[in-house]
Structure 1
């Protein structure tokens, strides 16, 4: 039996195109989700995986409809394989029911994993370069510099209100309190 799974990322997107493609491919039952591929909690996918049986094929329109993480896709494909369930992507052109489909899936997964590692290496190298130049090596710049904290404490001691000081320093009140705990007690 061919079991279809279709997903769109947001509620305002339409599943019709994917459902039509899955129906034309011969899917007898189709499960759907309107949720991000990064979310692990997708009821439609959970239902499809519970419904599909050994000898069936899980069919998707495109690989990215199943998930964003290569590791997750590989684990899912391995889990399906262990249950004797095949996996087919209509637009990516592979079907794990065939030896060439299994090979193609593993090659695509390996290339994607390599790209993720290259991005990670470039990120680490970039952070190291920033640190070598005296930077912090990532993250946002501090909203409350030591000079602003010193000014805030002086203004508090002079009797100014925290909200006024935060506005003057161009920071939020919560940022002010994070850097000047107890500021409300000092302002009277």
Structure 2
């Protein structure tokens, strides 16, 4: 059975071109979300995944309707494959029920892995270059000089128990409780 999924980002947007394309190739049931692709929770896609069965084909108009990143899309299609469900994209002409469609999808997988490896290499090169110039990444260890200077006053205010923590934080312009308690426990 061909099961369709269509998605637009906003309620005002029109789904007709997607649903028409899905119906034109024989899709029998279409699930529709009107939600941004950035949102990980897509209620109708979740319903579709509960409904779809082994040997069915999840069909979309374009790949970006199902996933925003190549890695996420590959992961999604691999999960379908493990359940014995095929995947088809009309615009990109991918159909994992055929040998050629599987090949194209595997090429996407290889390209995504290459992209990830290049990004890792760049990150490592950038960190190495920064270290060579005396820069170390990450958060500074311990308290800043400014916080070290006010620490005795903050501790005294806290230990006096005259003021609530929030008031002490406001008085000394301390932005978070985590920072406040680092000062108190230093």
CA contact (8 A) 1:60 1:88 kept: yes
Q: What do you get for the CA RMSD once the two structures are aligned?
A: 3.4
* CA shift in 2, pair 1:53/1:137, >3 Å: same
Retained in 2: the 8 A contact 1:57–1:87?
Answer: yes
1:4 to 2:11 alignment: no
8 Å contact 1:7–1:15 — kept in the other structure? no
Structure 1 residue corresponding to 2:177, chosen from 165, 174, 179: 174
1:28-47 equivalent positions in 2, closer than 5 A: 28-33=28-33, 34=35, 36=37, 39=40, 41-47=41-47
Q: Secondary structure at the match of 1:4?
A: strand
Deviations 1:36-76 (A, max 9, x none): 4562x433223223322344321012223223454554454
Bigger drift between 116-125 and 78-87 goes to: 78-87
Q: Secondary structure at 1:110's aligned position in 2? A: helix
Match of 1:148 among 142, 146, 149: 146
2-side partners of 1:106 and 1:52: how far apart? 23
Return 5+ residue gaps in structure 1 as ranges.
Answer: 184-188
Q: Specify the SS of the correspondent of 1:32.
A: strand
Shift of 1:123: 1.4
- Which sections of structure 2, spanning at least 5 residues, go unmatched? 158-167
Offset of residue 105 of structure 1: 0.8
Query: Would you say how many aligned residue pairs link Structure 1 and Structure 2?
Result: 175
Q: TM-score, normalised by structure 1?
A: 0.71
Aligned to 1:132: 132
